[in-house]
Each structure stands twice: as structure tokens, then as C-alpha cells.
Copies of this chain bind each other. A is one copy, B any other.
Amino acid sequence: MALIVQKYGGTSVGNPDRIKNVAKRVAEYRSRGDQVVVVVSAMSGVTDNLIKLAKEIMSLPSEREMDMLLATGEQQTIALTAIALHNLGVKAVSLTGAQAGIVTDGVHTKAKIHNITPKKVHELLDQGNVVIVAGFQGETREGQITTLGRGGSDLTAIALAAALKADLCQIYTDVDGVYTADPRIVPNAKKLPEISYDEMLELASLGAKVMQSRSVEFAKKFGVVFEVRSSLNENPGTIVKEETKSMEDVVVRGVALDKNQAKVTLIGVPDKPGVAAKVFKALGDATVNVDMIVQNISHGSLQTATNTPTTDISFTTDKADLLKAQKVIDGLKKELGFNDVLTDEKIGKLSIVGVGMKSHTGVAGKMFDVLAKEGVNIGMISTSEIKISVTIDLAKGEAATRAVHAAFIG
């Protein structure tokens, strides 16, 4: 008898019929004698609708009250899911995050899980129930309702799996698993049977948006092995786990193209200590999300007024943040005295990821060679132990992705 935690997202429980389908799947696992804990999100559309109602009343509503409001979405789904299981003759009880013992800090709308005391969950499981827990929410020690922010239901599932010492944690979503590339771009992309936490993290932050990074980080920290799979079919998904020796045999696990980035370059920045710090502190204060940062060595040109050597600093950010970023940079111009700012929205960020890169050399060279043969010019380059990212012309992004995939994966 295994203890399984299953998480179903908003699309999987989007209407009564889909909830019935989820119940069928849960009932199948239950009928094999397994204990099942089900974590559900709000029905798709419900949360957005509640946010809309609140914004009609006040443009910037209190975060404490938004948590009170939004927590109702998941509470509705757990009740409906329990009812759907009853309808199949399966014993089931729903629990809010608080009732399931999920204790968080008091940072409303993006609370962190403090600890989980799953006594009630264990009791109900032992009485033969499927236990359905509201994702995305918890309660502070003082009894305030909190929510965990984006990707919160995945986090609930993984944290519950850790606290319950579950044998299996399944994240059901609308994709089949994690692929070597986006199948819409690379038709022969393959579903990965397994992937390491670190690779998953790199891919999550690279626009292969299967899961939020924080859930994967949590799983890594507590060693929770989980499977990403589809709620629409019976196909096995992708197992995400600690890297194994054999994983290193594969040099490149996946290729990702992020079309949502923009590049900002500061030309002729005085090359002296503290300048970069000022730039990125100001961007951070304005909540501009910066991804790649590249600064090259100081070049020959001197700033005319002060005779200081100058350099160029480039960074990328989400397209949505570009205007905000430009405003911040413009505000710094006088203080820092750089020459000019260039922006480019027509870039793509192409990345290859794989733990095998640690033990294989020449990966970067091969990637650049493939791109050169495709006639693709490389803008910025940024690397980590298991990842190489380059910015390229957006128009050539998809062709470049296919070429790199073909060269490394097939």
C-alpha cells in the first residue's frame, strides 16, 4: 500500500465534468489499495474573477483581504471534488489548508510554508478516506488565512508529500511531461522520462513553464521525487529527482527558447567601482526582473569630461518590464554619466541545459558552431555549470532552436 499525493491544476478541475474525471482517476488509485491525498487549485477562471471584483472596488486592495477572498476558490474545489468522489462511492473528506495543518509565515499573497502538521490528514487516511486538501493556502500561527502566491498549489502538494513521507507525488497538468524542447517549435521533441531538479530549475526559469521554480527548489531541498504528467491521458510523465550518475551520460537534456525577453545596453559607462551596483539596485527597487547580465572588459574609449575609461553593460528583462527599466535607467543617466542607452525587443534567448555538461567539454563551442552554420549571430552569452544561454535575433529563434536540438538531441 503506497501513499500518493496528487495535484490537479485549475484546468483539470475547470468544470463539474472535469472534476468528475479527476474523481475517476483518484478512485482508480484508491481501488488498488493506495492511500491518496489530492491537492486541487481553484477552478480555472474563478481566481481571476475574484481579483476583478476586488479591483472594481479598489485598485490596490489589501493583501490580507485578498488572501481571505482568493482562498475561497480552492475551498470550493475541494468540496466539489469530495462530492464527486462520494458520487463514485469513495469515502472522501475535504480540508482547507489550515485544517490540513499547513502553517505559513504572515506575508500575505506570497506566504512561505513554515511547517506542516499533518495529524488530521493521517487520521482521515487511516479511517479509509481520500483526503482532499486546498492548494495555494495556509494559515499563520495566529489564525490568519494566507495564500502562497503563483504556483502555490504545486508547492502545497510537494510540501505535503514531504511532510507525509509520501511514496509518490504526481503533479497533473495539461502537458504530458517535460520535453527536450517545445514540441510546437521542434516537432520531434521527445518527452523526458526523467530529469534532475537542477535541470528542471534551469528549464523552469528559461520559459519551459511547466512549474514554478520555488516548488522545484522545495522538492530539491526535501528530496521529494515527483512526476509531472497529464490529467487528460494515461501516459507516464516525467520523473523529477536528484541527479544520478547515469544522467550525466546525456550532455544536453533540453533546449529552450524564451521569446519574451528584451535587451537593454548602457553604452559608455564609467568603469569604476559601484556603478553596476547602482544600476541593478535601482532596477531591483523598481521590481524590474533582470535575467542575464553581461559586462565586458573596459574598452579603449575614455569618457571625455573625466578621462575615466568606459565600458558597456547589457542586461535582459521581461518585455513587460522594459518601459519600467528604461525609466529607471534614464533617471540614473545624470548621476552615472553614461553616453547612451540602447534597447532591443527583437531578441530570443536560446538555452541548452544538461547536468552532463559538467563532465563533457566543448559543448559551448559545438553550440556556437551550429549557430554559425545557421547564419545566426550571437549577442550576449551567459553560462552556468549546467546551462548555456545566448541571445539571438528573434526572427531566427525557432530555426536556431531546431538546429541546436538536432545537433545535441536528434
Q: Is A335 part of the binding interface, using a Cβ–Cβ cutoff of 8 Å? A: no
Tell me whether A58 and B75 are in contact in the complex, defined as CB-CB below 8 angstroms, given that A53-B16, A82-B65, A94-B68 are known contacts: no
Q: Is the CB of B99 within 8 A of A83?
A: no
What separation, in Å, do the CA atoms of A19 and B61 have in the docked complex?
Answer: 14
Measured between beta carbons, the chain B residues less than 8 angstroms from A84 are 57-58
What separation, in Å, do the CA atoms of A79 and B61 have in the docked complex?
Answer: 10
Give the dominant DSSP class at A's interface: helix
What separation, in Å, do the CA atoms of A62 and B83 have in the docked complex?
Answer: 7
Measured between beta carbons, the chain B residues less than 8 angstroms from A94 are 65, 68
What separation, in Å, do the CA atoms of A7 and B53 have in the docked complex?
Answer: 21
Which one of B20, B53, B58 lies within 8 Å of A57 (CB-CB)? B20
Which one of B61, B76, B93 lies within 8 Å of A72 (CB-CB)? B76
Q: Is A56 part of the binding interface, using a Cβ–Cβ cutoff of 8 Å? A: yes
Which one of B16, B66, B69 lies within 8 Å of A56 (CB-CB)? B16
Please give the distance in Å from A50's CB to the nearest CB on chain B.
7
- B-facing mask of A38-74, CB < 8 A → 1, else 0? 0000000000001001101110011011101101100
Measured between beta carbons, the chain B residues less than 8 angstroms from A69 are 75-76, 79-80, 83
Nearest residue, chain B, Cβ from A52: B16
Q: Is the CB of B50 within 8 A of A65?
A: no
Q: Is the CB of B87 within 8 A of A57?
A: yes
Measured between beta carbons, the chain B residues less than 8 angstroms from A99 are 143
Q: Is A78 part of the binding interface, using a Cβ–Cβ cutoff of 8 Å? A: yes
Q: Is the CB of B71 within 8 A of A75?
A: yes
Q: Is A86 part of the binding interface, using a Cβ–Cβ cutoff of 8 Å? A: yes
Tell me whether A68 and B75 are in contact in the complex, defined as CB-CB below 8 angstroms, given that A53-B80, A54-B83 are known contacts: yes
Nearest residue, chain B, Cβ from A98: B143
Measured between beta carbons, the chain B residues less than 8 angstroms from A87 are 57-58
Measured between beta carbons, the chain B residues less than 8 angstroms from A64 are 93
Given A58-B84, A68-B75, A75-B75; 13 other pairs, CB 8 A cutoff: A54-B80, A54-B83, A57-B80, A62-B82, A64-B93, A65-B94, A68-B96, A69-B75, A69-B76, A69-B80, A69-B83, A71-B75, A99-B143
Chain A to chain B: the 9 pairs with minimum beta-carbon distance, closest first = A69-B79, A72-B72, A68-B79, A16-B56, A58-B87, A61-B83, A65-B79, A65-B82, A57-B84
